[in-house]
Amino acid sequence: MRLSRYFLPVLKENPAEAQIVSHRYMLRAGMIKQQQAGIYSWLPLGYRVLRRIEAIVHEEQERAGHIPLLMPTLQPADLWRESGRYDDYGQEMLRIRDRQDREMLYGPTNEEMITDIFRAHVSSYRDLPLTLYHIQWKFRDEMRPRFGVMRGREFLMKDGYNFDVTKEDALHAYNRHMVSYLRTYERMGLTAIPMRADSGPIGGDDTHEFLVLASTGESEVFYDDAVTQLKLGDRKVDYDDRDQVAAVCREFTTLYARTDETHKQELFDAIPEDRRKVGRGIEVGQIFYFGTKYSEPMGATVQTADGRAVPVHMGSHGIGVSRLLGAIIEASHDDKGIIWPEGVTPFHCGIVNLKQGDAEADAACEAIHAGMAALGLEALYDDRDERAGGKFATMDLIGLPWRITVGPRGLKNGVVELTSRRSDESVELPPEQAVARVAAIYAGH
Ligand code: ATP
Ligand code: MG
Looking at residue 201, its pLDDT comes to 58
| H/E run at residue 365 | helix 359-374
Kindly state the DSSP code that residue 233 receives in the 8-state scheme: T
- Identify the residue whose C-alpha is closest to ligand 1 atom 19: 320
Under a CB-based contact definition with an 8 Å cutoff, are residues 347 and 394 in contact? no
Q: For a pLDDT cut of 70, what percent of the chain falls above it?
A: 99
> What residues are paired with 320 via a beta bridge?
157
Kindly state the DSSP code that residue 250 receives in the 8-state scheme: H
Under a CB-based contact definition with an 8 Å cutoff, are residues 400 and 387 in contact? no
Ligand nearest to the CA of 197: 2
Same domain, 334 and 353: no
The confidence band for 199, taking pLDDT boundaries of 50, 70 and 90, is confident
Whether 153 is in a domain gets the answer yes
Looking at residue 352, its pLDDT comes to 98
Let me know if 116 is exposed, middle or buried by CB neighbors in 10 A (0-12, 13-18, 19+).
Answer: buried
317 lines ligand 1 (CB under 6 A): no
Whether 115 is in a domain gets the answer yes
pLDDT tens digits along 139-155? 999 999 999 999 999 99
Same domain, 169 and 289: yes
Same domain, 354 and 328: no
316 lines ligand 1 (CB under 6 A): no
Distance 50 CA to ligand 1 centre (A): 16
285 lines ligand 1 (CB under 6 A): yes
75 lines ligand 1 (CB under 6 A): no
Same domain, 192 and 241: yes
Please give the torsion angle defined by the CA atoms of residues 46, 48, 51 and 53, in that order, rounded to the nearest 10 degrees.
-70
The confidence band for 123, taking pLDDT boundaries of 50, 70 and 90, is very high
Given 274, 303, 338, the domain boundary residue is: 338
**What is the total residue count of the chain?**
445
Let me know if 441 is exposed, middle or buried by CB neighbors in 10 A (0-12, 13-18, 19+).
Answer: middle
CATH number of the domain at 282, please. Answer: 3.30.930.10
Distance 10 CA to ligand 2 centre (A): 33
The predicted model gives 341-363 an average pLDDT of 98
Whether 344 is in a domain gets the answer no
200 pLDDT more than 80: no
Given 297, 315, 338, the domain boundary residue is: 338
CATH number of the domain at 409, please. Answer: 3.40.50.800
- Record the pTM: 0.97
Looking at residue 444, its pLDDT comes to 78
SS (H, E, C) 67-112: EECCCCCEEEHHHHHHHCHHHHCHHHCEEEECCCCCEEEECCCCHH
Ligand 1 mutation target, pool 89, 216, 283, most atoms within 8 A of CB: 283
Alpha carbons 97 and 411: distance in angstroms, whole number: 65
141 lines ligand 1 (CB under 6 A): no
Distance 201 CA to ligand 1 centre (A): 18
Ligand 1 mutation target, pool 34, 139, 286, most atoms within 8 A of CB: 286
Looking at residue 326, its pLDDT comes to 98
Ligand nearest to the CA of 140: 1
Whether 83 is in a domain gets the answer yes
Whether 386 is in a domain gets the answer yes
Same domain, 275 and 360: no
Whether 343 is in a domain gets the answer no
- Tell me, rounded to whole angstroms, the distance of Cα 68 from its chain centroid: 16
Cα–Cα distances in angstroms (integers) from residue 412 to residues 174, 360, 415, 430, 431, in the given order? 60, 9, 8, 11, 12
Same domain, 32 and 119: yes
Same domain, 328 and 366: no
Same domain, 114 and 160: yes
Same domain, 324 and 421: no
Ligand nearest to the CA of 144: 1
The mean pLDDT value of the chain amounts to: 96
Looking at residue 56, its pLDDT comes to 98
pLDDT tens digits along 157-166? 999 999 999 9
The confidence band for 202, taking pLDDT boundaries of 50, 70 and 90, is low
Under a CB-based contact definition with an 8 Å cutoff, are residues 159 and 316 in contact? yes
210 lines ligand 1 (CB under 6 A): no
Same domain, 223 and 277: yes
Same domain, 315 and 376: no
Amino acid code (one letter) for 230: L
Under a CB-based contact definition with an 8 Å cutoff, are residues 164 and 301 in contact? no
312 pLDDT more than 80: yes
| Beta-carbon count within 10 A of 109 CB | 18
291 lines ligand 1 (CB under 6 A): no
Ligand 1 mutation target, pool 157, 219, 324, most atoms within 8 A of CB: 157
pLDDT tens digits along 128-141? 999 999 999 999 99
Given 312, 338, 364, the domain boundary residue is: 338
- Tell me, rounded to whole angstroms, the distance of Cα 97 from its chain centroid: 32
Looking at residue 221, its pLDDT comes to 97
The confidence band for 445, taking pLDDT boundaries of 50, 70 and 90, is confident
204 pLDDT more than 80: no
318 lines ligand 1 (CB under 6 A): yes
283 lines ligand 1 (CB under 6 A): yes
- Identify the residue whose C-alpha is closest to ligand 1 atom 4: 151
Ligand nearest to the CA of 211: 1
The reply to whether omega before 129 is within 30° of 0 (cis) is yes
Distance 285 CA to ligand 2 centre (A): 6
Phi-psi group of 188: left, alpha or beta (phi > 0 → left; psi -120 to 50 → alpha; rest → beta): alpha
pLDDT tens digits along 395-439? 999 999 999 999 999 999 999 999 999 999 999 999 999 999 999
Same domain, 375 and 331: no
Distance 286 CA to ligand 1 centre (A): 8
Alpha carbons 281 and 394: distance in angstroms, whole number: 29
Alpha carbons 369 and 361: distance in angstroms, whole number: 12
What total of structural domains would you count in the chain?
A: 2
Alpha carbons 162 and 177: distance in angstroms, whole number: 10
The confidence band for 198, taking pLDDT boundaries of 50, 70 and 90, is confident
Alpha carbons 19 and 291: distance in angstroms, whole number: 40
112 lines ligand 1 (CB under 6 A): no
- Identify the residue whose C-alpha is closest to ligand 1 atom 13: 318
Closest CA to 281 of 437, 132, 403, 150: 150
- Identify the residue whose C-alpha is closest to ligand 1 atom 16: 320
Ligand nearest to the CA of 185: 1
- Identify the residue whose C-alpha is closest to ligand 1 atom 3: 283
203 pLDDT more than 80: no
Please give the residue range of the domain that contains residue 48.
Answer: 3-338
